[in-house]
Chains A and B, each alone.
Chain A
Amino acid sequence: MLNAIMKSVELGLLFALMALGVYITFRILDFPDLTVDGSFTTGGAIAAVMIAGGYSPWLATICAFLGGLVAGVCTGLLHTKGKINGLLSGILMMIALYSINLRIMGKKPNIAILNMDTIFTGANLLVVMIVVVVVVKLLLDLFLRTNLGLALRATGDNERMIRSFGANTGTTKIIGLSLSNGLVALSGAFIVQQSGFGDVTMGVGMIVVGLASVIIGEAIFGAKTVFRATLAVILGSVVYRIVIALALRVEWLDASDVKLITALIVIIALVVPAARRSAKQKSQAHKRTAELLSGTGPKGGVS
């Protein structure tokens, strides 16, 4: 049991970078970006091919990150310059990347790197991942407090406002999408090195896993500040893996049900808080109306 939880923590940290990427698009930019399914594989494919080819695993990991950046820029250009709907831009890139990923992998659907040196060779995977995730988190927090980072956040919060203050929101969107997919690809590169092989279908459903992590994290740990929110996303990714591990211990569920379970988690996490909010609002309105009618309680204010 303890072993299973340790395994989940490791996986959670490996996927946490992907979840941070999803957080940037989904929460900060308010842009549901489906490129993720493709760019995760792109990162994995680049890392697998380079490591299999004898390159340094760190160089391979950096190249995977760059590959993700480029994929994100493409989605951003489709959306901002090509004026294509955001969802569709992501879907188009996801499909296009499927072929590109196969090309990267030399038209082989999977590449094994089991006997090659990876960044985890001779190191403790958990320690490496904790360091990497903490560094990435702090850098991201810092970036989001810079002038460019503020403009990026405002693009998702009130686009008209930040444009009236002279920020090119097309550019900020492209930067956000690029950074997001870079992190997603980085996560893919880590997963390949942990599992020992890269597969062209490894990214399928990644966007939903990322969403699940973001939503679970925010629900449990809160998202009052950027620092809290990014921490919540990382912890959400870990909790998600633990939930999946626990679910798989149920007798009548097996590994092929993981995607269904993930979808259900996201659905519950989206529906329950919304229902609770509207119920609370309703009871609040009832209470205040009763107070106003009976003349007790604070006077109603207009503002």
Chain B
Amino acid sequence: MLQINQVSKLFNPGTPDEKIALVGIQLHLKPADFVTVIGSNGAGKSTLMNIISGVMRPDTGTLHIEGAAVGSLPEFKRSQWIGRVFQDPMAGTAPNMTIEENLAMAFYRGKVRGFGLGVNAAKRRMFKEQVARLGIGLENRFGAKVGTLSGGERQALSLLMSTFTSPKILLLDEHTAALDPARAELITQITQDIVREMKLTTLMVTHNMEQAIRLGNRLIMMDKGRIILDIDETRKKDLTVERLLGEFEQISGKKLADDRIVLG
């Protein structure tokens, strides 16, 4: 489904601030894989997300989605295959537009935006059904501007918006990190349901070790721009936080340093 071959990225090459963000990243995702990504500060997790979604271009290496080379496509063209939820609850929705208008924009992912009405009666009914699945009562506030929703509600809406056109790849960039524990758990639950139901190929960056172990069928750990650990489904089943930390120390020769890490 997603094939990343020998992707590298340098920031500020040739200056005193040169920083290696990714080196020779090799990652293949099978359809319906749900991969969690953990790693220390500056490991390159966000850069990897930005490279896949097209916000940044790799310096070397290739990217394929379902066999199609997408490495040189700009973000807006790539987004027909890729759904993305950002860490910042403000980032995934347009605050001064209504819930239904936001959904209408998401509904047109990858299609030509012409002069058809964004929201009509049939679409409104369909959007309402979708929103009702979130189970947080947003379907009763359809005409409300998204800016009036709480962070958790906005994140749930973002999640629905980025998935309901069945993208080939779903990128979750620490999408529960900015929420309080109860809401984070709710969003995690919704994420799990949606990914399972729609069989989405998913890559999720998280700072929560327990979450990284509990969710998905594969776990990768990154450090200094490399993938240093790749744990498959069978090994992941009996993984614990302690063993994961131990593995990290063994491979990288240091303790996992992340000021935001949550052990679970």
Contacts and interface: CB of A to CB of B under 8 A. Distances in A.
The secondary structure that dominates the B interface is loop
Given A163-B75, A165-B106, A303-B151, A158 B116 contact: no
B97 A303 contact: no
Interface string A138-161: 000001011111110110011011
A106 B95 CA distance: 48
Interface residues of B, number: 39
Contacts of B161: 165
A150 B84 contact: no
Contacts of A145: 117-119
B95 A157 contact: yes
A146 B118 contact: yes
A160 B95 CA distance: 12
A157 B94 contact: yes
Interface in B110-167: 110-111, 113-119, 150-153, 161-162
B118 A158 contact: no
Interface residues of A, number: 24
Contact of A303 (B84, B116, B183): B183
B11 interface: no
Contacts of B216: none
Contacts of B77: 166
Interface in A112-170: 143, 145-151, 153-154, 157-158, 160-169
Contacts of B153: 303
Contact of A163 (B79, B108, B111, B113): B79
A302 interface: yes
B79 to A, nearest CB: 4
Nearest to B113: A147
Contacts of B95: 157-158
Contacts of B202: none
A200 to B, nearest CB: 36
B80 interface: yes
Which 7 A-B pairs have CB atoms at the shortest separation, nearest pair first? A303-B150, A157-B94, A166-B79, A147-B113, A150-B118, A158-B94, A154-B94
Interface of B: 53, 75-77, 79-80, 84, 86, 90-97, 101, 104-106, 108-111, 113-119, 150-153, 161-162, 180, 183
